[in-house]
Structure 1
Amino acid sequence: MTEIIEKTGLRWLWITVILLILDQATKYWTVQALDLYESYQVLSFFNFTYARNFGAAFSFLGDASGWQKYLFTGIAFAVSAFLLYSLKQNRFDKRWENIAFSLVLSGAIGNAMDRVIFGYVVDFLDFDLGFYRWPTFNVADIAIFIGAAMIILGSIIYPEQKADAADEKLDEKENK
């Protein structure tokens, strides 16, 4: 088992674990320290504000009747399974892609845990620029955003890796 972890992208799961712990710890602190919608000003444009998100990003479907909790939890489990499979299939030295997958995985699990435990996602990072107030978010959302951005950038910066992988699969099929 340790050989599989050492030689595959699963070696990067430590990132997932650390961010998942950070995400859940900050959400726990928020629920314990603040009342719902209570806000603590850190900077003139940044507050800790306890909010509940019953939907997805930007409260998408947040006002639905409750079925969305199951939909988004199911999507998170499916994405998590795919990312774990992808990490297992990747070589350990594909750092960029493995780190990106680990980041998205931590965010998906962190927000899914909230939905299963509470029925909503705990958000607390609140930016108000005066002319625009960004929707409140959390550490899991940051991990998903950075991981997704890395995946997109990786496909732009390293497109030949995808082509090489496709060529290798064709060669394997032809040699069988």
Structure 2
Amino acid sequence: MTSIKNSALIWSWLSLLVLVIDLATKQMAEAWLHYGNPVYLLPVLDFTLLYNKGAAFSLLADQPGWQRWFFTIISAAVSVMLMVWMRRLPRSQPWLAVSLALILGGAVGNLVDRVLFGHVIDFISVHWDNAYFPAFNIADSAITVGAIMMAIDVIRDSISTQKPASDSVSRSD
């Protein structure tokens, strides 16, 4: 097992940074925006304060309230799992460690919202004409970037462990 000083927990500061930025921007959105009224920034981007009682893409948001605790438990469990993973991950794998730290910071940011408010505060709205992507926040962005980095890490590791095809074919000249 990796000792704490040699583990990927060194990247916990990034999780904390994501958490602080996420919570601060959500509180700014609460203070400066009116629910459901967009503030247009660009033709494809606006800030619109919205509350998500469900999961990603408002999954189960229309349920009577049980989903709050369901998603709270899942978020807490995933957060603990990510911390354990980072604790066991050697410091020599920074790409994966950063991806886990981003996901952890985002998960905890949305977890805090669920516990305190019963919903996640979203405020970033991307759209094209009348087609709107579901509103999101900094935590969601960190989770997405972390997940993409993790996928790249898996693909990169898969490619590096495969033998090149030219090595397995014998040549007869």
Q: CA deviation at 1:36?
A: 1.1
Q: Which residue does 2:41 correspond to in 1?
A: 42
Q: CA deviation at 1:35?
A: 1.7
CA distance in 2, matches of 1:130, 1:4: 52
CA distance in 1, matches of 2:37, 2:5: 45
Alignment of 1:104-119 (within 5 A): 104-119=103-118
Are positions 1:65 and 2:72 aligned together?
no
Q: Which residue does 1:83 correspond to in 2?
A: 82
Secondary structure (helix, strand or coil) at the match of 2:84 reads helix
CA distance in 2, matches of 1:111, 1:161: 35
Q: CA deviation at 1:18?
A: 0.7
Q: Which residue does 1:51 correspond to in 2?
A: 50
Number of positions where the alignment pairs a residue of Structure 1 with one of Structure 2: 161
Q: CA deviation at 1:160?
A: 7.4
Q: CA deviation at 1:132?
A: 1.9
- Residue by residue, what CA displacement relative to the aligned partner does 1:93-121 show, whole Å, maximum 9, x if unpaired? 20011001001101110001000010000
Normalised to the residue count of structure 1, the TM-score between the two structures is 0.87
Q: Which runs of 4+ in 1 moved over 6 A?
A: 160-163
Secondary structure (helix, strand or coil) at the match of 2:48 reads strand
- Residue by residue, what CA displacement relative to the aligned partner does 1:20-54 show, whole Å, maximum 9, x if unpaired? 11000000000011121121111111101000000
User: Greater shift after overlay, 143-152 or 119-128?
Assistant: 143-152
Change (3 A) 1:161 1:5: farther
CA distance in 2, matches of 1:110, 1:5: 24
User: Greater shift after overlay, 33-42 or 137-146?
Assistant: 33-42
Gaps of 5+ in 2: 163-173
CA distance in 1, matches of 2:67, 2:145: 24
Q: Which residue does 2:15 correspond to in 1?
A: 16
Secondary structure (helix, strand or coil) at the match of 1:128 reads strand
Amino acid across the alignment from 1:34? L
Alignment of 1:18-33 (within 5 A): 18-33=17-32
Normalised to the residue count of structure 2, the TM-score between the two structures is 0.88
Q: Which residue does 1:134 correspond to in 2?
A: 133
CA distance in 1, matches of 2:36, 2:120: 14
CA distance in 1, matches of 2:82, 2:159: 21
CA distance in 2, matches of 1:77, 1:114: 12
User: Greater shift after overlay, 129-138 or 64-73?
Assistant: 129-138
Q: CA deviation at 1:6?
A: 2.8
Amino acid across the alignment from 1:95? P
Change (3 A) 1:33 1:131: closer
More helix by share: 1
Gaps of 5+ in 1: 164-176
Secondary structure (helix, strand or coil) at the match of 1:6 reads helix
- Residue by residue, what CA displacement relative to the aligned partner does 1:51-94 show, whole Å, maximum 9, x if unpaired? 00000000000000100011111111111111000100011120
Are positions 1:125 and 2:124 aligned together?
yes
